[in-house]
Amino acid sequence: MKKKTIIAALLAAVMSVSVVAGCSSGTQSAASVLDGQPAPMPANHNGRYTDLGPDGCYGCHGANEKANPQLVGAVIVPEDHYSRGMYATMKIDAGYNQCITCHPQG
C-alpha cells in the first residue's frame, strides 16, 4: 500500500513537470513580441486600417500631450516607431506609417 502511494506521488510529480514544460513552450510561441515579431491586429480591428488609416491607429495607440497611449487600455506603440525614435515628436516615422504591412489582421 505504501509503495503504491509513493509510485503515485512520483507519477504525479513527473506529470506536473511535463505539464509545466508544455505550458512554458506554449507561452514562448504566443509572446511573439519577445522575439521582435510584430503582433497581429486583434479580430475586433477588422477593417480599421482601410477605414481609418494610420491616423486612426494613432488616435488610440499614439501619444499626445496628455497621454501615451491616448486610449486607456490600448497597447503603447514602441518608441522606435516614432519620428527620430522619440515619443516627444508625437509623429510616426514615415517608415512605420503602413501599419498593416507589419501588423496583419489576425
Residues interacting with ligand HEC, by CB under 6 A?
A: 33, 36, 38-39, 41-42, 44-45, 48-49, 52, 54, 56-57, 59-61, 71, 73-75, 77-78, 80-81, 92, 96-99, 101-103
The Cα 57–Cα 15 span in angstroms is: 45
The CA–CA distances, whole Å, from 8 to 4, 11, 16 equal 6, 5, 12
* Number of Cβ within a 10 Å radius of residue 60: 17
11, three cell numbers:
507519477
The nearest distance, CB 84 to ligand HEC, in angstroms, is 15
Which residue is listed with cell 486612426? 56
Residue 25 or 98: the one with the smaller Cβ distance to ligand HEC is 98
The nearest distance, CB 51 to ligand HEC, in angstroms, is 8
Residue 63 or 92: the one with the smaller Cβ distance to ligand HEC is 92
